[in-house]
Chain A
């Protein structure tokens, strides 16, 4: 499978716990994005990497959220001290450097905070 891969598919955690999600983009794609989607809404942008550099970050990304992309390959998104409001689908997408192409999305990680 050469698509965008996300792990885990589902995560249930208790409020206050830390969680980490992983995204493996399509191998030749330099750009990597994280989005969050709640039920009935469109995806909301969280952050964007060009290779290993985090170039854009949404104001939605509080200091409890951190994302990394070491060596410009896979990326991780960590949420510390989870809150019930963090419950959502976390989507990862990648794209090549060409300016006018669409994003390739993974299947997402569904987070439920109890």
Chain B
């Protein structure tokens, strides 16, 4: 069974840092691009970072450029999101997501979602 298990969320002060992890199982992790998607309380979905299967290509929206860094360790089947200079508007549930089987490069679609990890930025 394909599973994604996020960890690392919590309460952090504005300007602080946090590193999220996502342990993947049930599929050949290194062959799939992966992404992080977040959802602020009561709000919609926002894609925050994506990374190729090899880790050689990453991208992110302007809202997190210069602050968030996505990475992966294919030997550990783990995806990461390093978040620096956190702001109140970064408060959200962060989901680790995998594309559909047959779309290893992504299809810009997110089939498997983790349970999410909550990040709260507040003083």
A and B found bound together: no
B residues neighboring A (CB under 8 Å): none
A residues neighboring B (CB under 8 Å): none
